[in-house]
């Protein structure tokens, strides 16, 4: 008897760490978003198992097995007898399989076959659902014989669907009847999903989105065919092309009949199915363990970082030391680094990132300077049109203060730090046309406001007349821009270019006292968890979520002493740069793991 494990199976089991560590990110990650990752290595392993199975490389061959060619000859001889006895109609001559049509060499005992050789002795053993007017809504009745659809194959669920036809229509479509044990294959949209009709299924017919196959179970089992169709037929040149078409549609029945496939000895076929089931169960286990490990890792990182954020002066050092000791174990994923970056920003605006200096001039003095500057602007007649007298700001209640501030800091509303908070307008509302002339007004929309940077690859321009009708939102270099509508709410950047520009209604302009306020600190605050939470709490959800100017002006900001702000900005930039370096290393490591998984798969098939 042959050895229990093939070299290919050993290659699979000896590299489990590669399969589980090769992970690909599906999209941007949010809190606890382990589902946003794709276990690429395990997905690759599943594909490899199936391909090894149909190439005869998954289980060892047994020289005592009857060769596949002998069984093919036996069944052909049996059919000849039935034809002579008049019990079976002679079919068209079978396609001769040339050497050019054989994609690769097969193991001893295997043979290349075509589908008609393994179909049941039934003239309807392979049938595409009826097209045209054979089945349409006018024929449907509340009860009767079921019409099976592609969803039944896609989800391997024969309960789905609610279309029925009466007995007369059923008898008319008898050629398309699906019976227990038949295979149905989805033929359009999601092409190539295979399901086996169960014993308890309702009597019915297939529609045009399905292909029905009835196999001779003495030659080829349904379980093996499901493996074969996914791993072999769907990778043939004819069917592979379907994946890229806009309207995917299965090739004709004749094309499928003429596609040679690798056919194992009948006894080996059962060993293959058993081994595939065993290894797929292992993949399920590995996937579950990987997801559980990632979820546990994310929970641990979140817990420790939250402990750091909630620590008081006495426990902060201890909480940080706990993280520092296990830094190389905690921050091993891009998501964990993103969590760390957010924590750094939050610690910065809480006054926990850099030590306070008792010699710093307190923030209260800074606020007095701003108030004096505003009074001067108001009293200067030449500046009358540039600043309006603001209403008295509502006092900041204790409920509005999310945490306690260090000595020297002050809670302040954004309006107190600004001399202009406004938004733009739509050119259409003002009767102004878009242009393609760079000499006109650069028109900044929410698409141009990225996270901490302008995105000006695609520039828009409007007629110069727009600045005359919307002078209040003309941009100056150094203005802060914030998206206030839709999914990008809160994205903030500085207008840092020299250009004649204006904004639309989805962008807010915040103009602060540059000489007094550290603008970079404000940007850090706008990206912090405190401010983002405030934004999402205050947004108005109409057709599209949006922030009002009134809510933005009332943002409650933790303001540090003027001397501390630059120290905070410097430290934040330093730590965020470190985070980006870590993310780059993680990304490079992940790429290496993905390449390793691909390489091992290629080696197994070579």
CA-based radius of gyration for the chain: 35
Among 218, 166, 210, 169, smallest CA distance to 191 is for: 210
Under the banding of pLDDT at 50, 70 and 90, the label for residue 542 is low
Among 205, 233, 263, the domain-final residue is 263
- pLDDT reported for residue 3: 47
Tell whether 249 and 296 lie within a shared domain. Answer: no
- Residues sharing a CB contact under 8 Å with residue 42, sequence separation 6 or more, in sequence order: 19, 20, 283, 286, 287, 290
Mean pLDDT value of segment 283-292? 90
The answer on pLDDT for 383 being more than 60 is no
Q: For residues 502 and 461, is the Cβ–Cβ distance under 8 A?
A: no
For residue 95, is it within any domain?
no
Please write the tens of the pLDDT for every residue from 403-458: 999 999 999 999 999 889 999 998 888 888 999 999 999 999 999 998 888 999 98
Tell whether 257 and 304 lie within a shared domain. Answer: no
Q: What is the residue-wise DSSP string for 536-575?
A: HHH-EESSSEE--HHHHHT-EEEEPPTTHHHHHHHHHHHH
- Distance of alpha carbon 72 from alpha carbon 78, whole angstroms: 10
**Pairing label, strands 126-128, 261-263:** unpaired
Under the banding of pLDDT at 50, 70 and 90, the label for residue 525 is very high
DSSP state for residue 187 in the 8-state scheme: -
Tell whether 350 and 215 lie within a shared domain. Answer: no
- pLDDT reported for residue 380: 64
Tell whether 316 and 388 lie within a shared domain. Answer: no
Phi, psi of 322 (to 5 degrees): -65, -40
Over the range 174-183, which residues count as b (16 or more CB within 10 Å of their CB) and which as e? eebbbeeebb
Q: For residues 44 and 598, is the Cβ–Cβ distance under 8 A?
A: yes
Among 260, 281, 283, smallest CA distance to 54 is for: 260
3-state class (DSSP) for residue 438: coil
3-state class (DSSP) for residue 262: strand
Please write the tens of the pLDDT for every residue from 25-40: 765 444 444 456 788 8
For residue 535, is it within any domain?
yes
- Distance of alpha carbon 247 from alpha carbon 243, whole angstroms: 9
- pLDDT reported for residue 195: 95
Displacement of CA 167 from its chain's centroid (Å): 46
- Distance of alpha carbon 389 from alpha carbon 374, whole angstroms: 9
Please tell me the pTM assigned to this model.
Answer: 0.75
Please write the tens of the pLDDT for every residue from 131-164: 766 777 778 899 999 999 999 999 999 999 999 9
For residue 152, is it within any domain?
yes
Tell whether 342 and 403 lie within a shared domain. Answer: no
Q: How far is CA 224 from CA 194, 218, 270, 585, in A?
A: 11, 12, 8, 43
Tell whether 207 and 122 lie within a shared domain. Answer: yes
Give the H or E element holding residue 480: strand 480-483
- Distance of alpha carbon 339 from alpha carbon 350, whole angstroms: 16
3-state class (DSSP) for residue 228: helix
Tell whether 513 and 596 lie within a shared domain. Answer: no
- Distance of alpha carbon 558 from alpha carbon 549, whole angstroms: 20
Tell whether 400 and 332 lie within a shared domain. Answer: no
Q: Mean pLDDT: which of 188-192, 372-376, 527-531 is highest?
A: 527-531
For residue 82, is it within any domain?
no
Q: For residues 424 and 507, is the Cβ–Cβ distance under 8 A?
A: yes
For residue 108, is it within any domain?
no
- pLDDT reported for residue 544: 61
- Residues sharing a CB contact under 8 Å with residue 304, sequence separation 6 or more, in sequence order: 319, 322, 323, 330
Among 503, 461, 507, smallest CA distance to 482 is for: 507
Domain count, the chain: 3
Q: What is the residue-wise DSSP string for 378-432?
A: HH-GGGGGG--PPPPPPP--GGG--SPPPTT-EEEEHHHHEEEEEE---HHHHT-
The answer on pLDDT for 355 being more than 70 is yes
Phi, psi of 483 (to 5 degrees): -75, 135
Please write the tens of the pLDDT for every residue from 322-337: 888 888 888 988 889 9
- pLDDT reported for residue 192: 87
Domain that holds residue 241: 115-263
Tell whether 344 and 429 lie within a shared domain. Answer: no
Beta strands in 190-273 (DSSP E): 194-196, 204-206, 210-213, 261-263
Q: For residues 415 and 391, is the Cβ–Cβ distance under 8 A?
A: no
Least confident of 95-104, 265-274, 547-556: 95-104
Angle at 21 between CA 15 and CA 25, to 5 degrees: 145
The answer on pLDDT for 90 being more than 80 is no
Q: Which pair of structure tokens corresponds to residue 206?
A: 């297939």
Tell whether 341 and 452 lie within a shared domain. Answer: no
- pLDDT reported for residue 28: 45
For residue 384, is it within any domain?
yes
**CATH number of the domain where residue 234 is located:** 3.90.220.20
- Distance of alpha carbon 289 from alpha carbon 287, whole angstroms: 5
Mean pLDDT value of segment 212-216? 94
- Distance of alpha carbon 43 from alpha carbon 594, whole angstroms: 11
The answer on pLDDT for 384 being more than 70 is no
- pLDDT reported for residue 344: 94
Q: For residues 309 and 343, is the Cβ–Cβ distance under 8 A?
A: yes
- pLDDT reported for residue 69: 93
- pLDDT reported for residue 241: 58
Tell whether 373 and 327 lie within a shared domain. Answer: no
For residue 71, is it within any domain?
no
For residue 88, is it within any domain?
no
- pLDDT reported for residue 264: 96
Under the banding of pLDDT at 50, 70 and 90, the label for residue 274 is very high
Cα dihedral 478, 484, 486, 491, rounded to 10, equals 40
Give the H or E element holding residue 493: strand 492-494
Q: For residues 165 and 140, is the Cβ–Cβ distance under 8 A?
A: yes
The answer on pLDDT for 213 being more than 90 is yes
Q: Which pair of structure tokens corresponds to residue 174?
A: 């008898």
- pLDDT reported for residue 395: 85
- pLDDT reported for residue 12: 80
Tell whether 128 and 247 lie within a shared domain. Answer: yes
Beta strands in 230-358 (DSSP E): 261-263
- Residues sharing a CB contact under 8 Å with residue 254, sequence separation 6 or more, in sequence order: none
């Amino acid at each position: 008897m042959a050895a229990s494990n093939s070299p290919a199976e050993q290659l699979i089991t000896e590299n489990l760490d590669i399969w589980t560590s090769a992970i690909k990110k599906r999209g941007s990650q949010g809190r606890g978003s382990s589902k946003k990752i794709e276990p690429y290595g395990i997905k690759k392993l599943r594909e490899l198992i199936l391909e090894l199975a149909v190439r005869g490389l998954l289980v060892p061959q047994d020289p005592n097995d009857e060769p596949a060619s002998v069984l093919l000859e036996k069944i052909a001889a049996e059919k000849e007898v039935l034809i002579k006895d008049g019990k079976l109609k002679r079919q068209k001559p079978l396609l001769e399989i040339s050497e050019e049509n054989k994609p690769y060499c097969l193991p001893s005992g295997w043979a290349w076959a075509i589908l008609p050789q393994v179909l049941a002795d039934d003239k309807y053993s392979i049938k595409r659902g009826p097209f045209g007017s054979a089945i349409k809504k006018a024929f449907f009745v509340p009860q009767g014989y079921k019409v099976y659809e592609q969803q039944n194959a896609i989800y391997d669920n024969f309960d789905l669907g609610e279309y029925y036809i009466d007995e007369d229509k059923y008898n008319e479509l008898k050629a398309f009847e699906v019976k227990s044990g038949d295979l149905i294959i989805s033929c359009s949209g999601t092409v190539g999903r295979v399901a086996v009709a169960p014993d308890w299924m309702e009597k019915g017919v297939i529609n045009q989105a399905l292909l029905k196959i009835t196999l001779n179970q003495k030659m080829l089992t349904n379980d093996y065919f499901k493996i074969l169709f996914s791993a072999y037929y769907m990778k043939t040149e004819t069917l592979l092309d379907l994946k890229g078409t806009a309207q995917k549609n299965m090739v004709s029945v004749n094309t499928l009949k003429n596609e040679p496939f690798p056919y194992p000895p009948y006894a080996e076929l059962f060993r293959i199915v058993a081994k595939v089931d065993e290894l797929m169960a292992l993949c399920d286990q590995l996937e579950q363990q990987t997801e559980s490990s990632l979820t546990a890792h994310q929970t641990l990182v979140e817990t420790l970082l939250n402990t750091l954020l909630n620590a008081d002066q006495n426990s902060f050092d201890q909480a940080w030391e706990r993280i520092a000791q296990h830094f190389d174990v905690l921050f091993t994923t891009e998501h964990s680094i993103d969590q760390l970056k957010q924590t750094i920003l939050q610690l910065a605006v809480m006054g926990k990132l850099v030590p306070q200096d008792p010699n710093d001039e307190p923030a209260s003095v800074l606020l007095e300077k701003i108030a004096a500057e505003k009074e001067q602007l108001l009293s200067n007649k030449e500046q009358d049109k540039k600043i309006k007298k603001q209403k008295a700001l509502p006092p900041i209640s204790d409920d509005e203060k999310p945490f306690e501030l260090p000595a020297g800091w002050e809670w302040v509303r954004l309006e107190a730090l600004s001399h202009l908070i406004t938004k733009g307008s739509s050119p259409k509302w003002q009767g102004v046309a878009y242009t393609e002339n760079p000499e006109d007004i650069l028109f900044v929309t929410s698409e141009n406001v990225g996270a901490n940077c302008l995105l000006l690859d695609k520039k828009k321009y409007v007629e110069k007349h727009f600045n005359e009708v919307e002078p209040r939102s003309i941009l100056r270099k150094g203005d802060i821009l914030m998206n206030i509508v839709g999914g990008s709410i809160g994205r903030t950047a500085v207008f840092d270019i020299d250009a004649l520009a204006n904004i639309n209604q989805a962008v807010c302009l915040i103009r602060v006292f540059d000489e007094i306020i550290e603008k970079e600190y404000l940007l850090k605050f706008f990206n912090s968890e405190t401010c983002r939470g405030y934004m999402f709490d205050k947004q108005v959800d109409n057709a599209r979520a949006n922030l009002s100017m009134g809510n933005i002006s009332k943002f409650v900001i933790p303001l540090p002493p003027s001397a501390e702000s630059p120290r905070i900005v410097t430290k934040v930039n330093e730590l965020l740069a470190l985070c980006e370096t870590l993310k780059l290393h993680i990304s490079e490591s992940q790429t290496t793991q993905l390449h390793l998984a691909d390489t091992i798969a290629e080696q197994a098939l070579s």
